[in-house]
Amino acid sequence: MTRKPRGRDERSPLSSLALHATLVVATTIALFPVVWVLLASLKPQDAIQSTEIHLFDHPTLENYRRVLFETSFPHWFLNSVVVAIFTMVIGISMSATAGYALSRFNFPGKRGVMWLFLITQMFPVAILIVPIYTIMANLGLIDTKASLVIAYCSVAVPFCTWMLRGYFDTIPPELDDAAALDGLGPFKTFWYVVLPLARPGLAVTAFYTFLTAWGEVAYAIAFILSDKNLTLGAGLQQFVPRFNPQWDLLTAGAVLIMLPASLVFYFAQKHLVAGLTAGGTKG
Amino acid sequence: MSTPVVFDAATRLYPGSTVPAVDRLDLEVQPGEFLALVGPSGCGKSTSLRMLAGLEDVSSGSIRIGDRDVTHLRPKDRDIAMVFQNYALYPHLTVGENMGFALKIAGVAKSEISTRVADAARILDLERFLDRKPKALSGGQRQRVAMGRAIVREPQVFLMDEPLSNLDAKLRVSTRTEIASLQRRLGITTVYVTHDQVEAMTMGDRVAVLKDGVLQQVAAPLDLYDRPANVFVAGFIGSPAMNLGTFAVEDGDALVAEARIRLPRATTDALTTGEVVLGFRPESLERVPAGTEGAFAVEVLVVEELGSEAFLYGSLGAKLHNPQLVAKVEPRSVPAKGSVVHFRVDPERLHAFSTTTGEALPTA
């Protein structure tokens, strides 16, 4: 009996099994917490803390109703949306323009700027909170959404600038030359030629900046004092004080937090297409 | 309505460099002329073109288009269009939008844009592709779109930076003639950069040869071929290249291997040293029987038979600048490899150059 020769792209059954087993384990590890929170959010309060574990136990939407109508959750949600969207818009505008400048122009201090952006990434939030808090206090911005937007931008902009600069570097500079001859100044070149081609890079940075602001807890707890100005990350903490945590509210809130993030990701991934610059140049 | 272009001692010195990329370039392009700028890579031909386009700063000197001094104008204010080596089409726009983009930016009415785009598309046979994106086109079609984008502008000057170098050999030859005839039809002054001297010779009304940022010679293609101003131009123009060698001079004769080649009086008078650089093109060599006066022996190494012509590569008893001597021979009766044949240089077509300056010496 002769075995059918394997094609170059075919795996042996054993390696196929090992591969799929690994993937299944990894997927389970990734999904388990999310699924568990989702299932818990549908259980009544006593069932969540019960020592007997059931996947479903009197499924109900009661937790969601209470979170939405009996707590400040909607308020926090709105605050988070405002903060995240402002962080996203301001962060992207700043990092895209800075990234373009770093990619295309030579100016004194260019290397210094890039190093600075890299180095600021190396400080952990715990160290930065105190000095930034002092700055915000001096600016009179404590307990405002603006303080959070500024703090989040300081985290997101350097990283996004590096990332977008890398993306702009892949767009052939001849296109800038062609645009210059077609009558565009530097800013219009950026707007009409470079940005449309950088859509995948912009989508990723948009998602990143959004996430930076959306689930953030440390800055939010430090800068925001009043309940009405809290964002989601900070607000949800109130559901789990040291004693008597309200897991029912927390899990329902956690599920609701995931929705906008998924929505933003859904729109962002549509733009994650390869080969946008294909065909423009050859060589 | 055609416009002249003038480079007046235009120099480009890159920051941090001491050697100018383009050194005091003086060049006048006549109205409606097709000027080919040719030279080896790194000779400054592309830099010159980009200086004219406004993509590269002019360190000193000036550039004029028509009667306007454009030296420090921005590219968009120069009324020029450029075809790039890699085409540089906007990938996110359709062919039609690519061609009409400059007009749209200039605020030209939509109806006018579509007429002009349609006209250019008809000339270039692109009508079927107007709604496609560049990536759906072949290399040749993209090249035509790049041409179309320039034509639609109706500029005063066309600039072309090696527009054919990304096409395959066959397409390059046919596109070469298309571009040349299109340019003649439109009558727009054109500066065309290429590293390929065949392209330069076949397309240009005149050819400018650059080396190390310095203009060597500007002349009509045949003038360049027949009367190269110096050793560099002599060796660069012509394919296969001219045979060049440095030989001792004795009693008015150049000693080429065992042969003595009589130099014209004018040449010997102009000599400052006891040596001369002689140049003779492959077709200036005449096959003669052994023992003929002025004949030298050549051992045949390779014969390239191309059907209509044949080139013999052989070794001479004297050193040449190139390792081998090239001679054009009768294609239907080529000598065998390894055999020894004798050649004589047609004295009318002998080029002589100074060994010190490389400049051409008078031969008559």
Task: Indicate whether A51 pLDDT > 90.
Answer: no
Rg of the Cα atoms in chain A: 24
| ipTM, 2 dp | 0.85
φ and ψ of B248, to 5 deg: -75, 150
- CA B279-B284-B290 angle, to 5 degrees, is 100
Hey, are the CB atoms on B54 and A278 less than 8 Å from each other?
no
Work out the burial of residue A10: count CB atoms within 10 Å of its CB; fewer than 13 is exposed, 13-18 middle, 19 or more buried.
exposed
Please indicate, yes or no, whether residues B92 and B162 belong to a single structural domain of this protein. yes
Size of interface A-B (CB pairs under 8 A): 90
Residue of B nearest to A183 (CA): B76
**B86 vs A172, A179, A276: nearest CB:** A172
Q: If phi over 0 gives left and psi between -120 and 50 gives alpha, with beta otherwise, what is residue B358?
A: left
Taking residues B236-265, what's their average pLDDT? 91
pLDDT in tens, B25-63: 999 999 999 999 999 998 999 999 999 999 999 999 999
- CA A152-A156-A160 angle, to 5 degrees, is 160
Please indicate, yes or no, whether residues B151 and B280 belong to a single structural domain of this protein. no
Establish if B104 touches chain A: CB-CB under 8 angstroms: no
- Residue A282 pLDDT level (bands cut at 50, 70, 90): low
Whether B334 is covered by a domain: the verdict is yes
The pLDDT, as a whole number, for residue A63 is: 87
Whether A114 is covered by a domain: the verdict is yes
Please indicate, yes or no, whether residues B108 and B245 belong to a single structural domain of this protein. no
The pLDDT, as a whole number, for residue A241 is: 77
Whether B92 is covered by a domain: the verdict is yes
Q: Which one of B232, B257, B276 terminates a domain?
A: B232
Hey, are the CB atoms on A181 and B53 less than 8 Å from each other?
yes
Whether B132 is covered by a domain: the verdict is yes
Hey, are the CB atoms on B90 and A178 less than 8 Å from each other?
yes
Please indicate, yes or no, whether residues A169 and A215 belong to a single structural domain of this protein. yes
Please indicate, yes or no, whether residues B41 and B162 belong to a single structural domain of this protein. yes
Please indicate, yes or no, whether residues A108 and A207 belong to a single structural domain of this protein. yes
- pTM for the model stands at 0.82
The pLDDT, as a whole number, for residue A151 is: 93
Please indicate, yes or no, whether residues B156 and B190 belong to a single structural domain of this protein. yes
Q: Are B48 and B56 in contact (CB under 8 A)?
A: no
The pLDDT, as a whole number, for residue A236 is: 85
Please indicate, yes or no, whether residues A41 and A162 belong to a single structural domain of this protein. no
The alpha carbon of residue A175 is apart from the nearest alpha carbon of chain B, in Å, by 5
**Neighbouring C-alpha atoms within 13 Å toward the C-beta of B349:** 14
The total of structural domains in chain A comes to 2
Please indicate, yes or no, whether residues A215 and A79 belong to a single structural domain of this protein. yes
Q: Which of A20-24, A160-164, A236-240, B121-125 has the lowest mean pLDDT?
A: A236-240
Rg of the Cα atoms in chain B: 24
pLDDT in tens, A89-115: 999 999 999 999 999 998 999 999 999
Please indicate, yes or no, whether residues A40 and A159 belong to a single structural domain of this protein. no
Segments forming the whole domain that contains residue B271: 240-353
Task: Indicate whether B123 pLDDT > 70.
Answer: yes
Residue of A nearest to B75 (CA): A181
**Percent of chain A scored above 90 by pLDDT?**
46
Tokens 């359709």 locate to B94
Please indicate, yes or no, whether residues B221 and B311 belong to a single structural domain of this protein. no
Please indicate, yes or no, whether residues B186 and B246 belong to a single structural domain of this protein. no
**Neighbouring C-alpha atoms within 13 Å toward the C-beta of A201:** 27
Whether B361 is covered by a domain: the verdict is no
In this structure, how many other beta carbons lie within 10 angstroms of the beta carbon of residue B233? 26
Tokens 């009766």 locate to B333
Whether B176 is covered by a domain: the verdict is yes
Query: At B131, which CATH number?
Result: 3.40.50.300
**B91 vs A183, A184, A277: nearest CB:** A277
Establish if B108 touches chain A: CB-CB under 8 angstroms: no
Please indicate, yes or no, whether residues A56 and A79 belong to a single structural domain of this protein. no
Establish if B57 touches chain A: CB-CB under 8 angstroms: no
Tokens 């010496």 locate to B361
Whether A67 is covered by a domain: the verdict is no
Which of A270 and B47 is assigned the larger pLDDT?
Answer: B47
The alpha carbon of residue A174 is apart from the nearest alpha carbon of chain B, in Å, by 6
Hey, are the CB atoms on A282 and B81 less than 8 Å from each other?
no
Which of B226 and A233 is assigned the larger pLDDT?
Answer: B226
Q: Which one of B181, B197, B232 terminates a domain?
A: B232
The total of structural domains in chain B comes to 2
Query: At A167, which CATH number?
Result: 1.10.3720.10
Q: How far apart are the first and last CA of chain B?
A: 42
Segments forming the whole domain that contains residue A182: 72-270
Whether B360 is covered by a domain: the verdict is no
Chosen for mutation from B83, B86, B166 (greatest number of chain A CBs closer than 10 Å) is: B86
Hey, are the CB atoms on A283 and B53 less than 8 Å from each other?
no
Please indicate, yes or no, whether residues B261 and B183 belong to a single structural domain of this protein. no
Whether A50 is covered by a domain: the verdict is yes
Tokens 């590890």 locate to A29
**Mean confidence (pLDDT) of chain A:** 88
Please indicate, yes or no, whether residues A193 and A126 belong to a single structural domain of this protein. yes
Using alpha carbons, list the distances in angstroms from residue B21 to A105, A253, B74, B86. Answer: 20, 66, 21, 22
Please indicate, yes or no, whether residues A198 and A252 belong to a single structural domain of this protein. yes
Q: Which one of B232, B259, B284 terminates a domain?
A: B232
Task: Indicate whether A278 pLDDT > 80.
Answer: no
Establish if B84 touches chain A: CB-CB under 8 angstroms: yes
Task: From chain A, pick out residues whose CB is under 8 angstroms from the CB of B53.
Answer: 177, 181
Please indicate, yes or no, whether residues B206 and B250 belong to a single structural domain of this protein. no
- Residue A3 pLDDT level (bands cut at 50, 70, 90): low
The pLDDT, as a whole number, for residue A283 is: 45
Taking residues B217-241, what's their average pLDDT? 94
Task: From chain A, pick out residues whose CB is under 8 angstroms from the CB of B149.
Answer: 178, 182
Please indicate, yes or no, whether residues B200 and B249 belong to a single structural domain of this protein. no
Please indicate, yes or no, whether residues A30 and A86 belong to a single structural domain of this protein. no
d(CA A206, CA A88) in angstroms, rounded, equals: 6
Q: Which of A58-62, A189-193, B135-139, B168-172 has the lowest mean pLDDT?
A: A58-62
Task: Indicate whether A122 pLDDT > 90.
Answer: no
Please indicate, yes or no, whether residues A148 and A214 belong to a single structural domain of this protein. yes
The alpha carbon of residue B150 is apart from the nearest alpha carbon of chain A, in Å, by 9
Task: Indicate whether B118 pLDDT > 80.
Answer: yes
Whether A163 is covered by a domain: the verdict is yes
Establish if B107 touches chain A: CB-CB under 8 angstroms: no
Whether B363 is covered by a domain: the verdict is no
Token output for B144:
């035509």
Whether A103 is covered by a domain: the verdict is yes
Taking residues B206-216, what's their average pLDDT? 95
Q: Which of A66-70, B68-72, B206-210 has the lowest mean pLDDT?
A: A66-70
Taking residues B292-318, what's their average pLDDT? 91
Whether A2 is covered by a domain: the verdict is no
Please indicate, yes or no, whether residues B164 and B306 belong to a single structural domain of this protein. no
Task: Indicate whether B166 pLDDT > 90.
Answer: no
Task: From chain B, pick out residues whose CB is under 8 angstroms from the CB of A282.
Answer: 86-87, 139, 142, 166
pLDDT in tens, A146-159: 999 999 999 899 99
Hey, are the CB atoms on B91 and A280 less than 8 Å from each other?
yes
Please indicate, yes or no, whether residues B259 and B137 belong to a single structural domain of this protein. no
The pLDDT, as a whole number, for residue A67 is: 86
Task: From chain B, pick out residues whose CB is under 8 angstroms from the CB of A184.
Answer: 76, 105
Whether A247 is covered by a domain: the verdict is yes
Hey, are the CB atoms on B88 and A188 less than 8 Å from each other?
no
**Percent of chain B scored above 70 by pLDDT?**
100
d(CA A193, CA A174) in angstroms, rounded, equals: 11
**Mean confidence (pLDDT) of chain B:** 92
- Residue B136 pLDDT level (bands cut at 50, 70, 90): very high
The pLDDT, as a whole number, for residue A100 is: 95
Q: Which of A251-255, A271-275, B182-186 has the lowest mean pLDDT?
A: A271-275
Whether A254 is covered by a domain: the verdict is yes
Please indicate, yes or no, whether residues A21 and A47 belong to a single structural domain of this protein. yes
Q: If interface means Cβ-Cβ distance under 8 Å, which residues of chain A face chain B? A: 172, 174-175, 177-185, 188, 192-193, 196-197, 275-283
Token output for B305:
């038979």
**A280 vs B54, B88, B102: nearest CB:** B88
Hey, are the CB atoms on B76 and A275 less than 8 Å from each other?
no
Whether B364 is covered by a domain: the verdict is no
- Residues contacting B293, CB < 8 A, separation 6+: B344
Hey, are the CB atoms on B89 and A280 less than 8 Å from each other?
yes
The pLDDT, as a whole number, for residue A275 is: 61
Q: Are B81 and B128 in contact (CB under 8 A)?
A: no
- Residue B65 pLDDT level (bands cut at 50, 70, 90): very high
**Percent of chain B scored above 90 by pLDDT?**
80
Please indicate, yes or no, whether residues A17 and A114 belong to a single structural domain of this protein. no
